[in-house]
Structure 1
Amino acid sequence: MTETPGASGAPSVRLTAGDAEVTILPAAGCRIASLRVGGLELLRQGDHYGCFPMVPWCGRTAQGRFRNGGVTHQLPINAAPHAIHGTGRDVAWDRLPSLEENEAVFSYELAEPWPYPGRVVQSFELTPDSLRLTMGVETADDSFPAQAGWHPWFRRNLGGEDVAVDFSPVWQEERGADHLPTGDRIEPRPGPWDDCFGMPDGVDVALTWPEQLRLRVTSPTPWVVVYDEQPEAVCVEPQSGPPNGLNTCPRLVTKIDPLEITASFTWERLG
């Protein structure tokens, strides 16, 4: 593990294993800025891309409002008319000690505009053929609903044919005109997608760049959002609940029951 200045001048943390390399930017929302396999960059580049954490909520929260018991909270509207993707991607994270050379661990303290104190810890573990991600949300006091997940922007094209996305969800969350689930579950429909899918046995989505590389996104969570409406990239987002889940599927974080989610990117070369 090495720490070097990133492209913006902020320190970056680089992990290597075999011919795999991951670069993390703690000061830029603890996002993965680069994931390279054999010199091939898998993530779309740019300040808003790479792979960023979604925490303490995922996707859109309707009108930026959610309830906890009898109290209604208002979050900043950053994807009008909704609040999107949490606050973790917008803050600097602190690096924590790690025991392994191929592992890096970071944290940040929950604070305004999130209304409850707590802490988020995120870890990255790299091997020659996989990257394992873990994120946990802890409360410092009162219980609160929360979500966590990741938003990777995988490049649609690595220099050959476009990527093919293969997965077998049990259902698709019907999407309303406001881009939020309506509450109805429907048979999965063909893309293009900006949609949430249910995989009760755990997320398992394969991305195949023909004759180049196959990558699987897996997670024990049953929720995944797939977004492929832009020509440059495909997003496969494992998350602990559906969009607007703070309201429709709240998962309370308590002192004795923190929220934890894991996901893995596993690859194999095809060429």
Structure 2
Amino acid sequence: MTAIEKGQARLSFVPEVGGAVASFTVAGRDVLRPAAPGVTDALATACFPLVPFCNRIPHGRFAFEGRSVVLPPNLAGHPHPLHGQGWRAAWTLERAAGGEALLSYDHAPDAWPWAYRAEQRFVLGEASFRAELTVINTGEKAMPAGLGFHPYFPRRPGETLTATNDGVWLIDTEVLPTLHHPGPWEADWAAGAPIEGHGLIDHCYTGWDQRATLRAPGGPDTVVTASPDCRWLHVYVPPGEDFLCVEPCASRPNPFGEGETGMAVLKPGERRSIWMEVRT
């Protein structure tokens, strides 16, 4: 496990586990949920990248520029592949010094038939870190591309989430989006709502203004901001767990579905980047 430090802030990585962040602490306090020693699954880390798409593709089937693609499942017991290839691959730590780090991953064509390079650049502040995620089309044909971040936060007693939005994608029993519901649903995050007291929340919120605040009595706020491309905010609050996820995304679930999904088309050599900052 490799770490960078600045003042009382410390950010550690497990690049071999999906290019993941293992922990982010300020003055010894966990701002992100820490990964256990020896972690082998990105789902048990502090944060991992979503590249080159976010969330689920129904049964892995889609068409792009006349080409039919079928992706295999990448989560045990779940038929719909999710989050791209980056989180299931080993990344290379290119550099970690002076409060900055660079991780990279090169994808060779397989079921996802396009070559690409992904990079994560981290800059650590006194009480924050900024992550920039980039995907570069290194192949010879145009490639679809969506990006996002999947940070996990410790659940604190009495915690609330405030995040402006104009609606939410409702889901079916397989966590696939069904229809868009305008306005508040279940929890009114736009007004600031408690984390506790709901059923499963695993939903994508639209009209996000790139700022979300987690607030708990007696503790410092955690503020998540992101680049303008991140117009969707995915919130995951599993009942009975000690964590929640607040995920800035530049594309939505079912990224090859109807309507505006946020997927870009990259010509050979083109790149797409987003950033996220976590501050306490």
Identify whether the pair has TM-score above 0.5, normalized to the shorter chain: yes
1:127 to 94, 102, 125: 125
C-alpha separation between the residues in 2 aligned to 1:118 and 1:18? 36
Question: Structure 1 residue runs of 4+, over 6 Å off?
Answer: none
Could you tell me which amino acid in structure 2 is paired with residue 233 of structure 1?
A: F
Is the Cα contact below 8 Å between 1:23 and 1:35 reproduced in 2? yes
Give the equivalent residue in structure 2 for 1:8.
none
Deviation at 1:14, TM superposition (A): 0.7
Deviation at 1:84, TM superposition (A): 1.3
Could you tell me which amino acid in structure 2 is paired with residue 139 of structure 1?
A: N
Is the Cα contact below 8 Å between 1:29 and 1:93 reproduced in 2? yes
Counterpart of 1:207 in 2: which secondary structure?
strand
Give the equivalent residue in structure 2 for 1:266.
279
Could you tell me which amino acid in structure 1 is paired with residue 17 of structure 2?
A: A
Task: Note the alpha carbon deviations across 1:223-245, whole angstroms, 9 max, x for none.
Answer: 11001124211100011111111
Is the Cα contact below 8 Å between 2:59 and 2:80 reproduced in 1? yes
C-alpha separation between the residues in 1 aligned to 2:158 and 2:89? 33
C-alpha separation between the residues in 1 aligned to 2:135 and 2:179? 26
- Length-normalised TM-score, structure 1: 0.86
Could you tell me which amino acid in structure 2 is paired with residue 226 of structure 1?
A: V
Deviation at 1:41, TM superposition (A): 1.4
CA RMSD of aligned residues (A): 1.9
C-alpha separation between the residues in 1 aligned to 2:256 and 2:50? 13
1:37 to 26, 42, 50: 26
2:177 to 172, 181, 190: 181
Is the Cα contact below 8 Å between 2:137 and 2:270 reproduced in 1? no
The answer to which structure has the higher strand fraction is: 1
**Alignment pair present for 1:138 and 2:151:** no
Unaligned runs of 5+ in 2: 188-197
Give the equivalent residue in structure 1 for 2:116.
118
- Length-normalised TM-score, structure 2: 0.83
Task: Note the alpha carbon deviations across 1:2-51, whole angstroms, 9 max, x for none.
Answer: xxxxxxxxxx2211112111101111111011111110113333432311
- How do 1:239-258 and structure 2 match up within 5 A? 239-248=249-258, 249=261, 250-255=263-268, 257-258=270-271
C-alpha separation between the residues in 2 aligned to 1:138 and 1:199? 27
Counterpart of 2:221 in 1: which secondary structure?
strand
Task: Note the alpha carbon deviations across 1:129-154, whole angstroms, 9 max, x for none.
Answer: 21101011111121111211111111
Task: Figure out how many residues of one structure are paired with residues of the other and give that number.
Answer: 251
Is the Cα contact below 8 Å between 1:33 and 1:49 reproduced in 2? yes
Unaligned runs of 5+ in 1: 1-11
C-alpha separation between the residues in 2 aligned to 1:154 and 1:25? 17
